[in-house]
Amino acid sequence: MGQWEPPGGGWGGANERWSSRTGPGEGGRRHHHHHHPGRKLRCLRRSPDNRVFGGVCGAVSSATGIDAMWVRIGFVLLAICSGVMLLVYAAAWLLIPMEGESANIYSRAVNDRRGIRLVAAVLIPVMIAVQVITSTLHVAFVGFIGWPTFLAVGVLILIWRNANESEKAFIDEDVVPLFGPDTRGEGRRWLLARVAVGVLIGAGGIVVLVEGHTTAAALRPVGGAALVVAASVIIFGPWWLSLVRDLIAERQARALAEERAQMAAHVHDSVLQTLALIQRSSDDPQHVVRLARAQERELRAWLFEGRPPGAIGDDATMLAEGVGLLQRQVEADHGIAVQVVMVGDCELDEALRALLDAAREATVNAAKWSGADQVSVYAEVEPETVMLYVRDRGRGFDPDAVPEDRQGIAQSIRARVSRFGGAAVIRSAPGEGAEVQLSMPRRERVR
Amino acid sequence: MSTAARGAPAGRPRIFLVEDHAVFRAGVKAELGEAVEVVGEADEAGAAIELINERVPEVVLLDVHLPGGGGHAVLRGVRPLHPEVQFLALSVSDAPEDVIDVIRAGARGYITKTISGPELLQAVYRVAAGDAVFSPRLAGFVLDAFAQGSVPAAGLDPELDQLSPREREVLRLIARGYTYKEVGRDLSISAKTVESHVSSVLRKLQLSTRHELTRWATDRRLV
């Protein structure tokens, strides 16, 4: 341990919960695993890949080992017998966290202060306005339906804010179109037609209202309601605006933070790695010049041509080609033998390039810190996933003892693959070498 | 190495080198040193067949690429006369079809020339004892060859033309760079069991009639 940490970087597992497991008869040797395809999971976790709606049945299936199809069939049958099952499903969706996340949607929603404030700020005035209007118009039943509706809307907004990106995408794509068409082309015309019809019906309603009373008396409650709405807009308007502004700022801040994390990962991969190399080869001026020149070329390409540094596979179109490039690069830069074994091959896409970048990071790390003279890279293309293993027989380290705030693996390896739904697992123990196991689901599945 | 010592036959194994690079032959001899008895060497297929049939060594270290017909020519020239001679294939260039060719012709294992001295010695002992020696690369080739068309075609013997899930697991770990011992520990089986899985894969590879294996090799040749 210790040897495994580059200056200012190293194997760090920030925000990750390792579940430890000791294999039979292995004494002090520790296995560390995160979710790993093909391995049984101990607790309920919803998987983004194995789901029809929220992934609850998939979670039950992987926790119990029963085939997901049977779980789903059983659930549908139960739901037909009793509607309560639908509520149970919704509750399970809220309470079972997504794979790779520690908090469920429910606990995040409850702790989402800003969201609660937003919902309160918008819904309470609207509810008051509706209450006032309905009571002046003597249509109490609107209030009767209205209260639960508002409560439901508020809860839905909170849930939506606290669902993660993939679930948001799922809601956006699959649930929202049920309620409103999209606002492009055909959909836009449809929306206009709907609004027009709505306005006509509304106008008709006002006409009926006015005809039902004597003219002056009928206008008075309508006018009063309009005044109340105007008043609430004047009183709450600035508050709403500031909330909306906050919301936009929050979104921008999040985007900025993401950008920064990506930038940090890139700089770590390229500039910091090169600087570390230069320090180690200060007695070989030619090598230093070569390193500096290569780094300069890479930085220029990044800053002025928008090509990410350290990215492999820019020139490669197939996975095997990319792995070959990785092998040559690391062998040339670090003077270590990289043994590559490939099973199958497929075309590279964005996600697989990220997988390659993570693999390179792992290989470079092994080359620099393991002390071994050879690193094994094994890649296998399966119908649904691509697995990639980087293994060395070096000095190894204790993944639990790595400080949480270290850059290396947290940012570069795990973030790179998890951005595309992949996973990274590190297995190592002092004196036992290390193995980084990477997996990435394939976009274009082989049928 | 304790494993090497355990697997060592009583005497020093008598080995024969078939390799066209004199420098490499000298290197291998130096690395194996006193642990083996080198009974002869040859730098091309014809001479190799003649000398091996004459001296009948225990293990032949066979370069996959040879002038005068390649490694499999040597195997075909010796195996019918002396089936007791074991072959261990060696190569640097690793064209998969050549490697599979040599294995199908009867070699008991395949290693790359980058292998370290102690590992080479261990591999020689293994082969001398009749076990199979799979390098990570060979494991990868075999997985690749058997992965194609995982559904067995009609008329094929599924016993021979498919890998069992366990064999696949073992090969995968070997391809990842695990030693037999480490494979055994990972799968909670003994190293001996690992060896028997690997031997059974080798047998399948040699007896399989699946045309996928040939087609896979031809596909590779075109690349």
Q: What confidence score (pLDDT) does residue A58 get?
A: 81
Residue whose token pair is 């590879």? B205
B137 at A interface, C-beta within 8 A: yes
A chain contacts of residue B191, beta-carbon cutoff 8 Å: none
Pick from A363, A368, A361, A360: nearest CA to A281: A368
Of all residues in chain A, the percent with pLDDT exceeding 90 is 6
Which residues neighbour A133 within 8 Å (Cβ) at sequence distance 6 or greater?
A: A225, A228, A229
Is the Cβ pair B140, A343 closer than 8 Å?
A: yes
Confidence of residue B180 (pLDDT cuts 50, 70, 90): confident
Residue whose token pair is 């820019």? A314
Residue of A nearest to B171 (CA): A343
Domain assignment of residue A356, given as a range: 1-9+315-447
Q: What is the DSSP string of B25-93?
A: HHHHHHHHGGGSEEEEEESSHHHHHHHHHHH--SEEEEESS-TTTHHHHHHHHHTTT-TT-EEEEEESS
Asked if the model's pLDDT at residue B72 lies above 90, the reply is no
Asked if the model's pLDDT at residue A27 lies above 80, the reply is no
**What is the pTM for the complete model shown?**
0.52
The answer to whether position A1 is within a domain reads yes
- Which amino acid would we find at residue A97? P
User: Mean pLDDT, to the nearest integer, of B147-157?
Assistant: 53
The answer to whether position A161 is within a domain reads no
B chain contacts of residue A343, beta-carbon cutoff 8 Å: 140, 143-144, 147, 175
A204-254: pLDDT as tens digits: 776 776 666 655 565 666 667 777 777 777 777 777 777 777 778 888 888
Contact B41/B67 with Cβ under 8 angstroms? no
Residue of B nearest to A383 (CA): B147
The answer to whether position A421 is within a domain reads yes
Element (H or E) spanning A360, and its range? helix A350-369
Element (H or E) spanning A77, and its range? helix A68-81
Is the Cβ pair B144, A378 closer than 8 Å?
A: no
Q: What confidence score (pLDDT) does residue A11 get?
A: 40
* Mean pLDDT rounded to a whole number for chain B: 81
Is the Cβ pair A341, B136 closer than 8 Å?
A: yes
Pairing of strands B86-91, B109-112: parallel
How is residue A125 written in tokens? 């005035």
Confidence of residue A437 (pLDDT cuts 50, 70, 90): very high
Q: What confidence score (pLDDT) does residue A444 get?
A: 65
B184 phi, psi to nearest 5 deg: -60, -45
**Burial of residue A139 (number of CB atoms within 10 Å: 0-12, 13-18, 19+):** exposed
User: Mean pLDDT, to the nearest integer, of B75-91?
Assistant: 91
- CATH number of the domain residue A359 falls in: 3.30.565.10
User: Mean pLDDT, to the nearest integer, of A109-113?
Assistant: 79
Looking at mean pLDDT, say which of A134-143, A274-283, A351-360, B115-124 comes out highest: A351-360
Contact A23/A29 with Cβ under 8 angstroms? yes
Three-state SS string over A310-345 comes to CCCCCCCCEHHHHHHHHHHHHHHHHCCEEEEEEECC
Which of A25, A374, A389 faces B176 most closely, judged by CB atoms? A389
User: Mean pLDDT, to the nearest integer, of B166-184?
Assistant: 91
A126 at B interface, C-beta within 8 A: no
B chain contacts of residue A24, beta-carbon cutoff 8 Å: 188
Packed helices A350-369 and A319-334: angle between N→C axes, nearest 10 degrees = 30
Domain boundaries in chain B? 2-131, 140-222
A416 or B87: whose pLDDT is higher? B87
Confidence of residue A409 (pLDDT cuts 50, 70, 90): low
User: Mean pLDDT, to the nearest integer, of B161-167?
Assistant: 84
Pick from A340, A324, A424: nearest CA to A374: A340
- Which amino acid would we find at residue A253? A
- The HSE-up count of residue A50 (CA atoms within 13 Å, CB side) is 21
* Mean pLDDT rounded to a whole number for chain A: 73
Which of B112, B147, B176 faces A378 most closely, judged by CB atoms? B176
User: Mean pLDDT, to the nearest integer, of A25-33?
Assistant: 40
CB atoms within 10 A of CB B208: 20
How far, in Å, CA of B191 to CA of B194, rounded?
5
User: Mean pLDDT, to the nearest integer, of A299-315?
Assistant: 64
Q: For chain B, what is the largest distance between any 2 Cα atoms, rounded to a whole number of angstroms?
A: 52
Beta-strand ranges (E) seen in A384-422 are: 385-392
B2-131: CATH topology: Rossmann fold (3.40.50)
Distance from CA of A370 to the nearest CA of B (A): 15
B chain contacts of residue A337, beta-carbon cutoff 8 Å: 114
Asked if the model's pLDDT at residue A75 lies above 80, the reply is yes
The answer to whether position A415 is within a domain reads yes
Torsion of CA A69, A75, A77, A81, to 10 degrees: 180
Residue of B nearest to A389 (CA): B176
Confidence of residue B183 (pLDDT cuts 50, 70, 90): very high
CATH number of B140-222: 1.10.10.10
Is the Cβ pair B136, A378 closer than 8 Å?
A: yes
B176 at A interface, C-beta within 8 A: yes
Pairing of strands A19-21, A31-33: antiparallel
Confidence of residue A185 (pLDDT cuts 50, 70, 90): low
Confidence of residue A273 (pLDDT cuts 50, 70, 90): confident
A380 at B interface, C-beta within 8 A: yes
Is the Cβ pair A380, B143 closer than 8 Å?
A: yes
Contact A274/A330 with Cβ under 8 angstroms? no
**Integer Rg of chain B from CA:** 17
Is the Cβ pair B147, A343 closer than 8 Å?
A: yes
Domains in chain A, number:
1
Interface test with A, best of B151, B176, B179, B183 (most A CBs within 10 A): B176
DSSP state of A420: T
User: Mean pLDDT, to the nearest integer, of A259-279?
Assistant: 77
Pairing of strands B59-63, B133-134: unpaired
